[in-house]
Structures are given as structure tokens and as C-alpha cells.
Amino acid sequence: MAAIPLVLLPGTLCDARVWRAQVDALSVQRPVVVCELGSERTMEAEVASYLAILPPRFVLGGFSLGGIVALELYRQAPDRVAGLILVSANARPDPESSREKRRKLVERVDAGELESVLDESLLPDYFSPECGHRGELTALIRVMAHSSAANFANQSRYASDRPDSRPMLKSITVPVLLICGDSDVLTPRDRQDEMAQELAQASTVFIARCGHFATLESSDACNQAMQQWLLRMIP
């Protein structure tokens, strides 16, 4: 029997390169597809567009904003999702203070201030203090951000308008893997513990000396966690 495919969703201002190490490691086990984020105005429409083209059943992984979209996809089509991998994710709705901040960042990016937005508002929260390859990863994030800047307004809308997914967690019957850096200030440990307590089949991995961008900063640990979980939980 063929292995169930793995579908991966990037985060804000990211593209497939944020999952590059995981695609390389996991594609020997099963087909791996990375979907881009931000082509539709609403998250619901974005998910509907995915469902029209994705395989009948798949494992779904999401990083950061991709985790938010993954929860929406499960909400719309639970029977098609064989398992969930949520990396640096958050099931809570967006606070009002964050919505206003996002709106201003979109205005600045639209005005051509992407580099300033990255330096002043985004990059300072992406990595752990111990990150030893910050320069290399920062350069990659800049390249991805410029590549996906046209989708930033839609991506920000997905984050701002997302529902509270916490009440849905009890209804998720498939296995779920939660991965988070122990130095993540954007989706910290309490967000992961909150989800794990409500999920029927949750496995949680906290990566030491790692910030928000776990797929990049600690790619080997992230790969290992995903490989072991997939082999154990998903045929």
C-alpha cells in the first residue's frame, strides 16, 4: 500500500524553502507537497482551493501561520486529514492589539518598507539567543520575504481573522504532533500545552535552544521528530 502523502504549509512571508530540510528528509518515506499561502483573500477560500487539488487523504503539516491554516483545513474537511503536524503553532484567536499591528505592517510593506519591517518588527523574535547560524538563516528569510511579499496582505488577514480553534481541538480524532522551540516567544510552551491537553492523540516535542523558526534553526531535530512520529503513527 502506498504511503499517505504529506502536505506542508509555510508561515507568513515564507515559501517552500522554510520546509526544505524536511522535504529532503521525509520524501524518501512518502510523497511530500508544499503549498504556498496567500493566493486568496480569505483563509476559508484558500483552504477550499487546496481541497480542490490535494489528494483524497493526506497528513497535514503547518508552520506558524501554516498551522493556523491547517486547523481551518481540518475544520472544513476532517475526513481527508490522516494526521496533523503543527510546528510553532497557536490555536487561539488573534488579540485585538495584534490585529492593529498587522494592519500597520501591511501598510508599511505596501509602501516599500519590507526590509525595515523585517529588521524592526519580525526578525528580532524569530531565533533563540543561542542560534549559531543567524546570519545564514536571516538571509534566507529575507529572500523568502521578498518572494512572497505580494501575498503578505492576505496572509495577515488569515492571521487576524482566524477563529478561536480551541473549542474544536476536542473533536480532532487523528494523531497530532506538536513541535516547538523552547525559546519561542511567539508561540511559547503554554500554547502547546494548552493544545495538547485538549487533543485526543497529542505528541509534543520541545526542541532545546531553538526559537520560532524550528524548521530552519533546528532542522535536524525537527526532521527527527517528524520522521519518528510519521513512522509510528501514519502508515
Residue 178 corresponds to which cell in the numbers above?
506538536
Residue 212, Cβ neighbours under 10 Å: how many? 25
pLDDT of res. 43 = 98
Number of Cα atoms under 13 Å in the Cβ half of residue 228? 12
Phi, psi of 207 (to 5 degrees): -95, 125
pLDDT higher than threshold 80 for residue 235:
no
Contact partners, residue 79, CB within 8 Å, separation at least 6: 57
pLDDT of res. 1 = 66
Using CA atoms, how far apart are residues 108 and 220, in angstroms rounded to an integer?
A: 35
Residue 234: pLDDT band (50, 70, 90) is confident
Residue 140: pLDDT band (50, 70, 90) is very high
The architecture CATH gives domain 6-95+152-233: 3-Layer(aba) Sandwich (3.40)
Phi, psi of 118 (to 5 degrees): -60, -50
Using CA atoms, how far apart are residues 141 and 143, in angstroms rounded to an integer?
A: 5
Could you report the per-residue pLDDT of 22-72, keeping only the tens digit for each?
999 999 989 999 999 999 999 999 999 999 999 999 999 999 999 999 999
Write down the pTM of the prediction. Answer: 0.97
**What is the mean predicted confidence (pLDDT) over 174-201?**
97
Contact 16, 23 (CB under 8 A): yes
Q: Kindly report the average pLDDT of the chain as a whole number.
A: 97
pLDDT higher than threshold 80 for residue 154:
yes
**What is the mean predicted confidence (pLDDT) over 150-165?**
98
**What is the mean predicted confidence (pLDDT) over 1-8?**
91
Sign of CA dihedral 104, 106, 111, 115: positive
Domain range list for the chain = 6-95+152-233
